């Protein structure tokens, strides 16, 4: 891979890392909000939706981390 294409991939890696960081921040904020809800609300529909969203954000953040790791290997 030439220097120019490697540089483009490094830019993509940086952006993916930034996106992962934003998602993790939002997930952590949502988790804190969920944890601070009364238990009766946690088990209600809204609580279930929040819990599902937290799980989905965790999955996406993990996928982005894997993508960054894979791209780093490609750049080596």
Distance between CA 19 and CA 39 in Å, rounded?
31
pLDDT in the model for residue 1: 87
Mean pLDDT, residues 49-69 taken together: 98
Give Rg (Cα) of the chain.
17
pLDDT category, 64, cuts 50, 70, 90? very high
CA 6 from chain centre, in angstroms, equals: 24
Domain residue ranges of the chain, discontinuous segments joined by +: 3-75
Distance between CA 18 and CA 38 in Å, rounded?
33
pLDDT in the model for residue 76: 86
> How far from 28 is each of 15, 32, 36, 71, CA to CA, in Å?
20, 6, 12, 26
């Amino acid at each position: 891979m030439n220097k120019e294409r490697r540089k483009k991939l490094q830019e993509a890696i940086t952006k993916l890392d930034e996106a992962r960081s934003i998602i993790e921040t939002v997930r952590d904020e949502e988790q804190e909000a969920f944890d601070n809800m009364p238990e009766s609300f946690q088990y209600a529909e809204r609580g279930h939706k929040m819990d599902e969203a937290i799980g989905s954000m965790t999955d996406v953040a993990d996928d982005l981390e894997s993508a960054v790791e894979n791209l780093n290997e490609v750049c080596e």
